[in-house]
Amino acid sequence: MASIYPYLTFNGNCREAMNYYKSCLGGDLSFIVVGESPVAGQMPPQLKDHILHSSLKTSDMEIMATDMQPEKLNEGNTVHLCLVCKTEEETRNLFDKLSAGGKVKQPLHEMFFGLIGTLTDKFGKHWIVECNKN
Q: Looking at the domain assignment, is residue 87 inside a domain?
A: yes
Instruction: Please give the distance of CA 44 from its chain centroid, rounded to a whole number.
Output: 26
59 and 106 assigned to the same domain: no
Of 90, 81, 70, 87, whose CA–CA distance to 123 is shortest?
Answer: 81
Give the residue numbers spanning the domain of 124: 81-132
Q: Which of 36-45, 77-86, 119-128 has the lowest mean pLDDT?
A: 77-86
47 and 86 assigned to the same domain: no
Integer Cα distance of 67 and 9 in angstroms: 6
Bridge pairing between strands 103-111 and 81-85: unpaired
60 and 23 assigned to the same domain: yes
Q: pLDDT tens digits, residue range 14-72?
A: 999 999 999 999 999 999 999 999 999 999 999 999 999 999 999 999 999 999 987 77
Q: Which CATH number goes with the domain that contains 28?
A: 3.10.180.10
Which CA distances in Å does 18 have to 3, 32, 64, 86, 128?
21, 12, 9, 22, 18
pLDDT at 80 over 70: yes
